[in-house]
Amino acid sequence: MANVNKVFLVGRLGADPIVRETSSGAVANFSIATNEYWTDKQGDKVEKTEWHNIVAWGKQAELSRDYLAKGSNIFCEGKLQTSKWDTPDGETKYKTEIVIHNLQFLDPKKDSESSTSSIYEYAPKPEAKPVLDDVPF
């Protein structure tokens, strides 16, 4: 049987992407929040937010730098990758990230001539940064 390491996420950025240039090209790091909602046994609505660490390389990193900001809504597709290292005091640390190879911006494109837009068109960085608390999903 074949192995599969595939992740699909739709969520909002918790902060502006951090983009660095390396000898291998640009790399972007950012986190996105996904929310889950349900009603508990007492009838109360419950919300759980999960944070995901994202890594984008090359063109995806450049697009992240140029078009994404805190609050941007995105779809990303990639794979899970776990890093392991030892701290100076001998403690072993682990970090799991999602290395993406497909990124789509889901915010409407800002167009002064038309009020209609496709959710898959690239949108410029918003002037006023949205607050995650206002996101109803």
pLDDT tens by residue, 85-136: 999 999 999 999 999 999 999 988 765 444 443 434 444 444 444 444 544 4
Burial class (CB in 10 A: 0-12, 13-18, 19+), 96: exposed
- Nearest C-alpha neighbor of 103 from the set 65, 60, 52: 60
Q: Give the containing element (helix H, strand E) for 58.
A: helix 58-67
Percent residues over pLDDT 90 in the chain: 75
Q: What DSSP designation does 88 have?
A: T
Q: Cα torsion at 123, 12, 78, 109 (round to 10°)?
A: -10
Residue 112 confidence (pLDDT): 47
- Asked if residue 78 has pLDDT above 70, the reply is yes
Handedness of CA 29, 20, 68, 75 (dihedral sign): negative
- Asked if residue 58 has pLDDT above 60, the reply is yes
Domains plus CATH for the chain?
7-37+45-130 (2.40.50.140)
* Average pLDDT, integer, range 59-86: 95
